Amino acid sequence: MLILCWGINSCKDELGNIPTEEAEKDITGNWKVTQLTRNGENLSKRLKLDNFKIDFNADGTYTIADDLPFVVSGSGRYRLDDPQYPFSVVLNPAGGKEEVVLKFQFPVVNGKRQLSLVMSLGCSSNTYQYDCERLNGGI
pTM for the predicted model, two decimal places: 0.79
CATH number of the domain to which 124 belongs: 2.40.128
Kindly state whether residue 57 falls inside one of the protein's structural domains: yes
Number of independent structural domains in the chain? 1
Kindly state whether residue 45 falls inside one of the protein's structural domains: yes
Q: What is the pLDDT of residues 8-43, one digit of tens each?
A: 566 666 666 676 777 889 999 999 999 999 999 999
Kindly state whether residue 93 falls inside one of the protein's structural domains: yes
Domain of residue 92 covers 23-134
pLDDT at 139 over 60: no
Kindly state whether residue 120 falls inside one of the protein's structural domains: yes
pLDDT at residue number 7: 55
- How many degrees, rounded to 5, is the angle at CA 73 between CA 72 and CA 79? 55
Kindly state whether residue 129 falls inside one of the protein's structural domains: yes
Element (H, E) at 129: strand 128-134
Kindly state whether residue 55 falls inside one of the protein's structural domains: yes
DSSP states of 16-76 as a string?
GGS--PPPPP---EEEEEEEEEETTEE-TTTS--TT-EEEE-TTSEEEEES--S-SS-SEE
Kindly state whether residue 2 falls inside one of the protein's structural domains: no
Kindly state whether residue 13 falls inside one of the protein's structural domains: no
